[in-house]
Amino acid sequence: MIRELRPDDGSILGEVFAGLSERSRYLRFHSPLHRLSDRFRAALLDVDGHDRLALVALVCTPDGPRPVGIVRLARTGPDDADIAIAVVDAMHRQGIGRQLLTALGDRAVELGLTRLTAEILPENTAAAALFRSVFPHGPTRRGGGILTLTCHPAEDAHPSS
């Protein structure tokens, strides 16, 4: 199940963060983050569904639904937003990242966003492959130790998803 993250979803945010290895945290946040500070945590929960939107993926377990990944966008202009994603390590390579990113693309189109930008570390081949599997079109630029992928969600819309 995929739903919007809410400002009171602190436990979900914490659970997903706890499920990321040190390497995944580094790849996601571009720094070796051991814990979420109160300030950063508040920023990640500061979602309004329009300018700052996050989607969480939940899987069913015998103990109830567990959060396994979060994708988010932050509007940077009328047509543009920055995007980022993380899936807990135990659930990598099971299609969760693709489902989250596809759902985010659909929401972005609904919000009138035509250009999504992902900044990833050059060694992050998994993220590069994921972003381009969902959004094949758009330039990839390298500079300042970062790969910047531009994605066009309307052009790459997934009407059947």
Ligand X SMILES: CC(C)(COP(=O)(O)OP(=O)(O)OC[C@H]1O[C@@H](n2cnc3c(N)ncnc32)[C@H](O)[C@@H]1OP(=O)(O)O)[C@@H](O)C(=O)NCCC(=O)NCCS
Please identify, among the stretches 9-17, 46-54, 81-89, 144-152, the one whose residues bind ligand X according to the rule CB under 6 A.
81-89
- How far, CA to CA in Å, does 48 sit from each of 5, 44, 103, 145, 146? 9, 11, 17, 31, 28
With CB atoms as reference, the residue minimizing the distance to ligand X is: 97
Please tell me whether residue 161 binds ligand X under the rule CB under 6 A.
Answer: no
Please tell me whether residue 81 binds ligand X under the rule CB under 6 A.
Answer: no
What H or E segment, with its residue span, contains residue 77? Answer: none
Q: Which of residues 12-41 bind ligand X (CB under 6 A)?
A: 24, 27-28
Give phi and psi for 112, each to the nearest 5: 80, 15
Q: What number of chain residues touch ligand X (CB under 6 A)?
A: 23
Least CB distance from residue 47 to ligand X, whole Å?
17
Number of helices and strands in the chain (H, E)? 5, 7
The single residue among 3, 41, 66, 92 that binds ligand X, judged by CB under 6 A, is: 92
> Beta partners for 52?
74
Please identify, among the stretches 31-39, 40-48, 90-98, 108-116, the one whose residues bind ligand X according to the rule CB under 6 A.
90-98
Following CA atoms 23, 25, 31, 37 in sequence, which dihedral angle do they give, to the nearest 10 degrees?
-140
Reference 100, options 70, 130, 58, 131; nearest CA is 70
Please identify, among the stretches 8-16, 35-43, 82-90, 104-112, the one whose residues bind ligand X according to the rule CB under 6 A.
82-90
Least CB distance from residue 1 to ligand X, whole Å?
15
Residues that bind ligand X (CB under 6 A): 24, 27-28, 84-87, 92-98, 118, 120, 124-127, 129-130, 133
